[in-house]
């Protein structure tokens, strides 16, 4: 059962953009946004899961592609996490919220330039939770909260974690908005696995293997599907951000030209 924290208004037209989960692979979303702008495509709705929620929030509140790229290139794993040993997780995910507050201020969904929603998972009952009101930073913290690694984020009495557990690329939310045309960005379409080096790699591979089918979007479900070829990159490695941005751009240009 899905639990939706949404207002009742639906769009009747416009383009909807769904940005999928993938941790560091989400840098490719920036290249996609660049290509969309070059083709004069501006979404009326943005939905995001995990890293897609972070990139989507920055764009929905008016940050330029260049500004988002600069933010992404400056990020490191240690910049977006904080040691917080507890019975619920190894790290705290509060740094993500602070990052958004630094660049956007303590904004709410209602203030967005482009209608925005992010997806999280209620770890207590397995329900999908769609957040599109209240504090944006808090919602993005929840959507990017990888289970076990990060302790859950509590919102309205719910214990929330990464939305990728239930909907890796949140196309269904665009349909709830009533978008006339839908574009989905799946950054996990060509995943490869490598021998783990540490506990984080073990957990990462385990989640990827268990959830990989959720990342794939059927072409018949959307009007345009963009799938950057990121199989050679780790979702935990922020050392190749520029390369992944370029691959996102190339995949988007190719898809848009074919479309």
The pLDDT assigned to 93 comes to 63
User: Does the structure show a pLDDT above 70 at 227?
Assistant: yes
| Dihedral (CA of 164, 165, 167, 168) sign | positive
For residue range 201-222, list pLDDT tens digits in order: 777 677 776 666 555 566 668 9
Confidence of residue 237 (pLDDT cuts 50, 70, 90): confident
Q: What is the DSSP letter of 114?
A: S
Domain presence at residue 39 = yes
Q: Read off the CATH number of the domain in which 31 is found.
A: 3.40.1090.10
Residues 6 or more apart whose Cβ sits within 8 Å of residue 199: none
Residues 126-150, mean pLDDT to the nearest whole number = 92
The pLDDT assigned to 214 comes to 56
Minimal CA–CA distance to 15: which of 112, 133, 115?
115
| Cα 5 from chain centroid (whole Å) | 18
Residues 53-62, mean pLDDT to the nearest whole number = 98
The pLDDT assigned to 83 comes to 43
Helix 136-143 vs helix 94-104: angle between axes, to the nearest 10 degrees?
A: 140
The alpha helices in 83-167, defined as continuous H runs, are 94-104, 136-143
- Which domain range does residue 83 map to? 15-252
Domain presence at residue 6 = no
For residue range 59-113, list pLDDT tens digits in order: 999 999 999 999 999 887 555 444 454 545 455 567 888 899 999 999 999 999 9
Domain presence at residue 61 = yes
Domain presence at residue 257 = no
The residue assigned the tokens 């190719």 is 254
Determine how many CB atoms are found less than 10 A away from the CB of residue 213.
Answer: 8
**DSSP-derived 3-state class of residue 158:** strand
User: Does the structure show a pLDDT above 80 at 19?
Assistant: yes
Confidence of residue 17 (pLDDT cuts 50, 70, 90): very high
The pLDDT assigned to 148 comes to 75
Contact status, residue 60 vs residue 112, Cβ threshold 8 Å: yes
Confidence of residue 234 (pLDDT cuts 50, 70, 90): confident
Would you name the residues annotated as active-site residues? 50, 162
- Between β-strands 181-185 and 15-19, what pairing exists: parallel, antiparallel or unpaired? parallel
Domain presence at residue 8 = no
The pLDDT assigned to 210 comes to 66
The pLDDT assigned to 196 comes to 73
Q: Which residues pair with 153 in a beta bridge?
A: 160
**In the chain, % of residues over pLDDT 70:** 81
Domain presence at residue 134 = yes
Token pair for 226 = 């963009």
Domain presence at residue 191 = yes
The pLDDT assigned to 216 comes to 57
The Cα–Cα gap between 102 and 104 comes to 6
How many structural domains does the chain have?
1
Residues 139-143, mean pLDDT to the nearest whole number = 95
For residue range 159-205, list pLDDT tens digits in order: 999 998 889 899 999 988 999 999 999 998 877 667 777 776 777 67
**In the chain, % of residues over pLDDT 90:** 58
What is the chain's percent helix, strand, coil content, to nearest 5? 40, 20, 35
Domain presence at residue 7 = no
- Between β-strands 45-49 and 82-86, what pairing exists: parallel, antiparallel or unpaired? unpaired
């Amino acid at each position: 059962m899905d639990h939706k924290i949404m207002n009742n208004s639906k769009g009747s037209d416009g383009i909807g953009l769904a940005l999928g989960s993938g941790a560091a692979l989400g840098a490719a979303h920036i290249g996609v946004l660049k290509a969309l702008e070059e083709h004069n495509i501006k979404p009326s709705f943005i939905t995001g899961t995990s890293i897609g929620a972070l990139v989507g929030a920055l764009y929905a509140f008016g940050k330029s592609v260049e500004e988002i790229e600069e933010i992404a290139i400056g990020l490191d794993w240690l910049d977006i996490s904080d040691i917080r040993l507890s019975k619920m997780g190894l790290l705290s995910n509060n740094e993500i919220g602070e990052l958004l507050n630094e660049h956007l201020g303590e904004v709410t969904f209602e203030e967005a330039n482009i209608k925005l929603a992010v997806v999280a998972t209620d770890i207590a009952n397995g329900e999908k939770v769609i957040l599109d009101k209240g504090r944006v930073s808090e919602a993005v913290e929840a959507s990017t909260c990888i289970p076990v690694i990060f302790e859950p984020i509590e919102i309205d009495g719910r214990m929330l974690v990464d939305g990728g557990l239930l909907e890796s690329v949140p196309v269904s939310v665009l349909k709830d908005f009533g978008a006339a045309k839908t574009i989905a960005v799946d950054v996990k379409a060509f995943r490869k696995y490598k021998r783990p080096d540490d506990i984080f790699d073990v957990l990462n591979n385990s989640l990827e293997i268990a959830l990989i089918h959720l990342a794939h979007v059927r072409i018949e479900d959307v009007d345009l599907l963009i799938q950057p070829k990121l199989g050679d990159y780790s979702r935990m490695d922020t050392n190749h951000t520029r390369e992944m941005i370029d691959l996102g751009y190339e995949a988007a240009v190719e898809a848009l030209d074919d479309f």
